[in-house]
Amino acid sequence: MTRLIDRRSLLWGAAAVGALVATSAYAAQKPVRRVSNGRKGDRANEGYDATAYFTAGAAVVGDPAAEISWEGAIWRFKDSDARALFAAAPETYAPQFGGYCANAMSMKKVVPANPEVWRIRDGKLYLFAGKPGGVKFDKDPEAMIAKAQAYWLTLTFIE
């Protein structure tokens, strides 16, 4: 009788673990927007001008009069010249990983970034949820980028 209970317990335990693993895998693969709408949920890069990081070396709030739609999101720019610059080569200026936090992405998490915490590396813009992510990036950018890129490629996107 003891053996039978042990086997049943083992089978139920295995079934519970299997269900937990399946649920975790599903939760990890929940579809996300290709471009983050930020913490406020209304604009790509929370309305900051994606070109300004490169041209002004600063995080600059965009003007509602200078907007463009790209990859299903609304992007703002400081002026029409910056908007035209982005429109001509959006992949050059858009933040990596859809504008989600690169540090979180490297830990297999999808977290909106703070557009005021950023780094440019090898001509690419990376955003972070907070200063600690940027500091961690500075210590080993290649490792963070590789891990984040590997996870980014597994994500399913909302079309």
pLDDT in tens, 75-131: 999 999 999 999 999 999 999 999 999 999 999 999 999 999 999 999 999 999 999
Antiparallel, parallel or unpaired: β 114-121 and 157-158: unpaired
**Closest C-alpha among 127, 118, 62 to residue 99:** 127
21 and 88 share one domain: no
6 with 56, same domain? no
Same domain, 24 and 38: no
Structure token digits, residue 88: 């001509």
Of 32, 13, 68, 17, which is closest to residue 156 (Cα–Cα)?
32
Which of 17, 23, 16, 63 lies closest to 43 in space, CA to CA?
63
Cα separation, 104 vs 91, whole angstroms: 21
- Per-residue pLDDT band at 35 (split at 50, 70, 90): confident
pLDDT at residue number 129: 97
How much is the pLDDT for 51? Answer: 99
Q: Are residues 119 and 84 in the same domain?
A: yes
Query: Chain-wide mean pLDDT for the chain?
Result: 86
Q: Percent of the chain having pLDDT more than 70?
A: 81
The Cα–Cα gap between 78 and 86 comes to 11
**Based on the structure, what is the number of domains in the chain?**
2
Element (H, E) at 57: none
pLDDT at res. 126: 99
Residue 56, pLDDT > 60, answer yes
Residues 127 and 147 both lie in one domain? yes
> What pLDDT, on a 0 to 100 scale, did the predictor assign at position 29?
65
Under the banding of pLDDT at 50, 70 and 90, the label for residue 6 is low
